[in-house]
Structure 1
Amino acid sequence: MAYKKPESALVVLFDEHHRVLLLQRMDDASFWQSVTGALEDGEMPIETAYREVAEETGIDAKALGLSITNHAKQNQYVIRERWRHRYPPGTLHNTEHVFSLQVSSKTPITLTEHLQYEWVSKDEALARLWSPSNKEAVSLFVPSKA
């Protein structure tokens, strides 16, 4: 098994109603998150963001003419103990690059890596998300309803 690089992209998707797309993990049904994934060798964080959105939701943002916003924000967090075996031995921290993408709520979602998805209010997303950095990204980068 090839180890994951301890550097990832987090992409918060929200719709025209300022609802946040939450994805339920297959390996931990209590864990809801935004799109996220590790950078591959030679890949820039923005490339990872586009790739992961397509892989996890079926949304080809480039083909739809949508631009992912790079918030030029990086987080560093401790990798959950249950996932550390995926990284090189002794790796404890991950660096996360934060992005967001607004899509129409009518855009079809095709899941490949998650159990289910839900469009929820910003407040509900903040209550349900497990990751503190994911909560912060939703709080900072998803507009509040007018």
Structure 2
Amino acid sequence: MAYKRPESVLVVLYNEHNQVLIMQRNDDADFWQSVTGTIEEGELPLATAYREVAEETGVVLSPESGDIIDCQHINQYEIRPEWRYRYPPDAFVNTEYVFVVQISSQAPIILTEHSAYEWVEKSVAAERVWSPSNQAAILAFVPESK
């Protein structure tokens, strides 16, 4: 098994009603999250963001459109102990690049890595996501409802 790189993206999706898309992980029913994914060798974080949105939701956005916004925010956090086996033995901290994108609430969501999804209000999303960095990104980068 090839190790994962300890660099990833977090992409918060919200709709025209400023509701946030959260998804339930297949491997942990209590773990809700936004789109996340490992940056592949030679890939820029923004390219990873576009790839991961397409892979995890089926929503294909064109990098030329500029739809995904780089929040110019980077998190560093300890890798969950139960996931460390996926990373090199000396990797204990992950670096996460934060992005946000508005999509239509009518966009069909096709899950490939999650068991369920919901569009929820910003405050609800921030309460339900597992990761503190995901919570902070929702609160900081999703616009307030009008």
TM-score (norm 1): 0.97
Retained in 1: the 8 A contact 2:50–2:63? no
What secondary structure sits across from 1:88 in the alignment?
coil
2:9 counterpart residue number:
9
What secondary structure sits across from 2:130 in the alignment?
coil
Q: Which structure 1 residue ranges, 4+ long, deviate > 6 Å from structure 2?
A: none
What secondary structure sits across from 1:118 in the alignment?
strand
Alpha-carbon shift at residue 66 of structure 1 (Å): 5.8
Does structure 1 residue 47 correspond to structure 2 residue 35?
no
Identity of aligned residues (%): 58
Does structure 1 residue 83 correspond to structure 2 residue 46?
no
Counterpart amino acid of residue 81 in structure 1: P
Retained in 1: the 8 A contact 2:47–2:63? no
**Cα deviation 1:15-54 (Å, max 9, x = unaligned):** 0000000010011110000000000010000000000000
Equivalent residue runs for 1:1-146 within 5 Å: 1-62=1-62, 65=65, 67-146=67-146
Alpha-carbon shift at residue 136 of structure 1 (Å): 0.5
Gaps of at least 5 residues in structure 1 are: none
**Cα deviation 1:48-80 (Å, max 9, x = unaligned):** 000000000000011894610001110000010
Distance of 2:30 and 2:105 partners within structure 1: 24
Pick closer, same or farther for the CA change 1:48–1:79 going to 2, 3 Å.
same
Pick closer, same or farther for the CA change 1:46–1:12 going to 2, 3 Å.
same
What secondary structure sits across from 1:36 in the alignment?
strand
What secondary structure sits across from 1:53 in the alignment?
helix
Distance of 2:108 and 2:65 partners within structure 1: 15
Distance of 1:137 and 1:45 partners within structure 2: 16
Gaps of at least 5 residues in structure 2 are: none
Pick closer, same or farther for the CA change 1:30–1:39 going to 2, 3 Å.
same
What is the aligned-residue RMSD (CA, Å)?
Answer: 1.3
Distance of 1:66 and 1:45 partners within structure 2: 14
Distance of 2:63 and 2:81 partners within structure 1: 37
